[in-house]
A = this chain, B = another copy of it.
Amino acid sequence: MKKYLVEFIGTFFLVLTVGMTVIDPGAGNLAPLAIGSALMIMVFAGGHISGGHYNPAVTIAVWLRGRCAAGDVPFYLIAQFIGGAAAAFLTLALKDHPTVTAMTPNVGHALIAEFVGTFALTYVVLNVATAKGTSGNSFYGLAIGFTVMTMAFALGGISGGAFNPAVALGITVMGLAKAANIWIYLVGNFAAAIVSALTFKFINPEDK
């Protein structure tokens, strides 16, 4: 139960930061710095309890890599989606229910961007937070959080830069993305999680 609460809290603050810094008036071109840092601080704060996923794609990747119990997976995902939705509703309230224009991405490009960005994120997570070769390090939160920042700077204009189905739910609730497009995130993010778990096993063959 405590693990699920930590996943709820972390995802809540991640999606709250997305909404508050992206919806006008927000943090302008610094939004990716705020969003990546929100993930960083929550990974550092909650990693020792739940692993600090805050992202259904990360939970799937960590489960495939063998560092998340199958029985935890559905509860992690539920906690993450509820956290993302709760943050979306609070954002709308604090912004006085603003008029938000949903982006209209090129579907093919957005699918590639979500796949590529989520691959980077889950590849970094598996290597800095679950690999024997980096165990005991003090940089895992910085590496994970700043991966989201970097990919948001690089790919945010193409797909919105969710790289996370719980964030995708949040930006859909807030009106930043269209409900009809949520499959782009689900497909792109989960596919990337699978590929990065396979990549991790290939490059860390002795690391069971």
Flag if A40 contacts B109 (CB, 8 Å): no
Flag if B49 contacts A204 (CB, 8 Å): yes
> What is the oligomeric copy number?
4
**Cα-based distance from A205 to B39 in the complex (angstroms):** 24
Min C-beta distance of A128 to chain B, whole Å: 5
A177 within 8 A of B: no
* A2 neighbours in B (Cβ, 8 Å): 202-205
Which residues 129-174 of A sit at the B interface, judged by CB distance below 8 A? 131, 133-134, 137-139, 141-143, 146-147, 149-150, 153-155, 157-158
Min C-beta distance of A123 to chain B, whole Å: 6
Flag if B150 contacts A38 (CB, 8 Å): yes
List the B residue with the shortest CB-CB distance to A138.
B138
Which of B48, B128, B139, B149 makes the CB contact (< 8 A) with A127? B48
Min C-beta distance of A141 to chain B, whole Å: 6
Flag if B6 contacts A40 (CB, 8 Å): no
* A6 neighbours in B (Cβ, 8 Å): 203
Min C-beta distance of A131 to chain B, whole Å: 6
Min C-beta distance of A29 to chain B, whole Å: 6
Return the 10 tightest CB-CB contacts between A and B, nearest first.
A48-B133, A34-B153, A138-B138, A20-B154, A44-B143, A45-B127, A2-B203, A27-B153, A45-B124, A37-B150
